A and B are shown apart, each in its own frame.
Chain A
Amino acid sequence: MTTKPELMKRMVKGPDGLEFEVDPLRDYYCEAPPTVMPGAYIQIVEDFFNWARSKSLWILGFGTGCGAIEMRPLMTPRFDAYRFGVAWRPTPRQANLFIISGYLSTKTLKRAIRAYEQMQNPKYVIGLGSCTINGGMYWDSYNTIKKLDEYLPVDLYIAGCMPRPEALLAGFEEMKKIIRTGKAEGANQYAENFAWYKANQKRVIHDWDMPDYNW
């Protein structure tokens, strides 16, 4: 692993004039890999949690490919996705649904992984458009991945190139059903198969210069 200069150990001078050592990888990031979150102690409570979770879909406003353009009309009065109880947030810390909206170049994949890992559990991923499913029209491109679920746990795919806003709305309803039935276990899958996901990610991201886990 080659480390970015800003991630290297260095001496820093504080505002009070004191010098101290900073090791960003240890001080700013959590080294521990993600762990599986057990369900509630009794199924009925877990069901209740899942019902509540399905009512709060907070989407990370990170558009990765051309499909992202279809998310904009959803935020406007014409389609008004907010009436379905979904909302967009500007930061991964405040979001629990990551919509990979189309093709991911390896460069964007790197950012998408960082963003995904910074989201809080329980978290969900929707793959939007054929590009996330089998490469779509970027199937022979030299820098886009072709199968999203090799790199991030995907709960739901919405097919189309590009899917219309109505398809996304249907997708949200489908996502809620998946959450309510307790099948949206992406974050736990990610934790369970962490090594497998990391190996896949590192196979395509050649200049891995960040911590293994970006939490």
Chain B
Amino acid sequence: MRELYARLKALYPLGELTEQRKNLAFVTVPAAHLRDTLLHLRDKEGFTHLVLLTAVDWLEEGQFQLTYLLNNRALACDLGLRVLIQRDTATMESIHDLWPTAATYQRELREMFGIDFPGSPRIEEEFILEGWNSIPPYRRDFDTLKYAQEAYAERPGRVTHDPETHMRLQMYPGQHPAGK
């Protein structure tokens, strides 16, 4: 992994390498260099499989982090490329021409995070949700609980127990709930 990182680093302005395991590492790439890096990894380094494309919402920093996880079958190792993009514009170049499967991930990201990938096939179509009428549900400023309470009728009388206290009462009745 370190050698690969050294080879890549000579070509592209990469961030630090985060080694999760011997065969799994992550590295940050500027958005402008993503395509070249991906192409290089795919065609020259044997990372032929796009495992997944997913996002993290760094609300406080005003950024979305996209993770492109690639797999090298022969070496049985994974490399994740992280790209940080602006949260307010939330647009990224599409890579559906490198891996057709990316189009599906991009549709999902557009629906759940509101990240646009102009030119990606069927990007405008609904993916999982039907008739969604609020901000994209995976954005961290989307208040799931509030939405659920407002949108869906509830049956009164639902209570939530603290599991520890509840089990203590169940198993040792008579004992004070907080007793240690």
Contact = CB atoms under 8 A, between A and B. Distances in A.
A110 B129 CA distance: 12
B151 A204 contact: yes
Interface in A119-142: 133-135, 139-142
B152 interface: yes
B30 interface: no
Interface class of chain A by DSSP: loop
Contacts of B3: none
A134 B155 contact: yes
Contacts of A54: none
Interface string A187-212: 00000000000001001111110000
Contact of A147 (B130, B142, B147, B154): B154
Nearest to A110: B130
A106 interface: yes
Contacts of A142: 134, 137, 142, 144, 147-148, 151
Given A135-B158, A140-B145, A145 B131 contact: no
B119 to A, nearest CB: 25
- How many residues of A sit at the interface, in one of the four size bands? 20 to 34
Contacts of B148: 135, 139-142, 146
Given A140-B144, A141-B144, A142-B147, A147 B132 contact: no
A135 B151 CA distance: 13
B153 interface: yes
Contacts of A107: 128-130
13 contacts: A133-B155, A139-B158, A141-B148, A142-B134, A142-B142, A142-B148, A142-B151, A143-B129, A143-B137, A146-B153, A146-B155, A204-B152, A207-B131
Given A146-B152, A150-B153, A206-B133, 17 more contacts: A110-B130, A134-B155, A135-B148, A135-B152, A135-B154, A139-B148, A140-B148, A141-B144, A141-B148, A142-B137, A142-B148, A142-B151, A144-B152, A145-B152, A146-B153, A146-B155, A147-B154
